[in-house]
Amino acid sequence: MILLKGGLVVDPESETTRIADVLIEDGVITNIGNIDIEAIDNANEVRIVDCEGLIVGPGLVDVHVHFRDPGFTYKEDIYTGAKAAARGGVTSVVLMANTKPSVDNIDTLNYVINKGRETDINIYTCASITRGLQGKEIVDMDALLKAGAAGFTDDGIPILDEDVARTAMEEAAKRGAVLSFHEEDPKYISNNGVNRGIGSEYFGIGGSDRQAEISMVKRDIDIALETGARINLQHISTKEAVDLIREAKRSNRGKNIHAEATPHHMSMTEEDIILHNTLAKMNPPLRTEEDRRAIIAGIKDGTLDIIATDHAPHSKEEKEKKITDAPSGIIGLETALTTCYKTLVKEEKLDILQVFCKFSRNPAKIYEINAGALAIDRTADLVIFDPKKEWIYNKSQSKSFNSPLKDQKITGDVVMTICRGKIIYENL
């Protein structure tokens, strides 16, 4: 048994926060309130954790991560990815399908699911929308859903053929499945990972124009409204895309349109790629301060209803290449909650409850995952966060360490992660 004493308990499902104790027995939350240790049977077997001054919330649910397994395990594998997730208070993840081979068949899907069961966290995976991520032939959705796919995505590769995107949405809508879309049209991109603006000018390259995202967000919203498909527009980066999503959600038919904000797009701008070079190169790229402000506004008003990291490991050797050759992507699992707390709570005065709504409850509901609540009789997936703890981010549980926050001093840290009632990370 574990007794968490005197923390700020945050439950996004009931939308409540209060100072309380939390008792965990046999993997389940059995009591929340003012708990007398003497009244507990077998009190001598209870691990008491002093949570005064700490935030106790449901484990984070990250529905956009890359663990690179199978095929690219020199960057990350399912075991190291799970450890990085635990370090960041993430107890449930949904993996992307752009592995090698891609998750377009039952054998690869089973490989990922079975390997995930060997970790300490809850691992789910999407299957790809199209076979081999080629953007042409739709996968066998029925077979993959039956085998346990959490949804479908060609993330990393946009689906350029409008007819294919429409067919995918029509078929997914029939089955109630979630489709996640990477929205970047390459015809507007000269060099990916760097915004067309001061970043591209600094490096003397063409960069990625914002229209790459805007055009595809508009297209896929229109198709989703037409078909009734349940979609997740991934890692939104532009003001115009936020506006399009907001307008769509005002429609009676817009209830199935969801969208992600990443910690990096809410906290950094194109100026950061000048500071951090390839460690701040990502798709879509960091954009302007106006775009960053629009993303925060979208988080506040519910337009962007999911926070997800797009955790994307790459090796040191890959990231040491010149800006045009290095792959796009950064890791983010270990620092996501810290970044969200700093940007949204401390700077923007957003209630911590809303952070957990968007980073735990909402993604769990959208992807139909049993998570996102801190309540009696619910599985004990929890994160304990110290908002005042200062630390240096100089070590990663991930196999890669491609983060613009590397070696920086940070305030706020995950000090304990509990999954299914077991302490899987501790640094009190």
User: What's the rounded mean pLDDT across residues 137-166?
Assistant: 97
User: Percent of the chain scored above 70 by pLDDT?
Assistant: 100
pLDDT band at 425 (very low <50, low <70, confident <90, very high): very high
Is 310 within 8 Å of 96 (Cβ atoms)? no
Domains by residue range for the chain, with CATH = 2-56+377-426 (2.30.40.10), 60-366 (3.20.20.140)
Model confidence at 381: pLDDT above 90: yes
DSSP code of residue 35:
-
Pick from 419, 391, 427: which is nearest to 120 by CA?
Answer: 419
Residue 93 has a pLDDT of 99
Is 69 within 8 Å of 115 (Cβ atoms)? yes
Residue 41 has a pLDDT of 83
User: What's the rounded mean pLDDT across residues 90-117?
Assistant: 98
Rounded Cα distance, 50 and 72, in Å? 41
pTM above 0.95, yes or no: yes
pLDDT band at 30 (very low <50, low <70, confident <90, very high): very high
How remote is the C-alpha of 400 from its chain's centroid?
A: 17
pLDDT digits 0-9 by tens, 198-253: 999 999 999 999 999 999 999 999 999 999 999 999 999 999 999 999 999 998 88
Rounded Cα distance, 356 and 13, in Å? 9
Rounded Cα distance, 15 and 205, in Å? 47
Residue 253 has a pLDDT of 84
Is 411 within 8 Å of 397 (Cβ atoms)? no
pLDDT band at 44 (very low <50, low <70, confident <90, very high): confident
H/E stretch holding 313 reads none
Pick from 174, 176, 183: which is nearest to 153 by CA?
Answer: 183
User: What's the rounded mean pLDDT across residues 333-351?
Assistant: 98
pLDDT digits 0-9 by tens, 390-407: 999 999 999 999 999 999
Rounded Cα distance, 246 and 251, in Å? 9
Around Cβ 183, how many Cβ atoms within 10 Å?
25
- Reply yes or no on whether 310 is catalytic: yes
Please give the mean pLDDT across all residues of the chain.
97
pLDDT digits 0-9 by tens, 47-58: 999 999 999 999
Rounded Cα distance, 100 and 348, in Å? 41
User: What's the rounded mean pLDDT across residues 411-416?
Assistant: 98
pLDDT digits 0-9 by tens, 123-138: 999 999 999 999 999 9
The phi, psi pair for 208, rounded to 5°, reads -115, 115
Q: Which one of the listed residues 11, 21, 291, 310 is annotated catalytic?
A: 310
How remote is the C-alpha of 367 from its chain's centroid?
A: 12
Pick from 332, 337, 334, 307: which is nearest to 412 by CA?
Answer: 337
Pick from 311, 416, 319, 299: which is nearest to 362 by CA?
Answer: 299
- The tokens for 243 are 């506006």
User: What's the rounded mean pLDDT across residues 138-146?
Assistant: 98
Model confidence at 23: pLDDT above 90: yes
- Contacts of residue 174, Cβ cutoff 8 Å, sequence gap at least 6: none
pLDDT digits 0-9 by tens, 265-302: 999 999 999 999 999 999 999 999 999 999 999 999 99
- The tokens for 26 are 């046999």
Rounded Cα distance, 309 and 90, in Å? 11
- Contacts of residue 316, Cβ cutoff 8 Å, sequence gap at least 6: 400, 401, 402
Residue 158 has a pLDDT of 96
Amino acid at 215: S
DSSP code of residue 294:
H
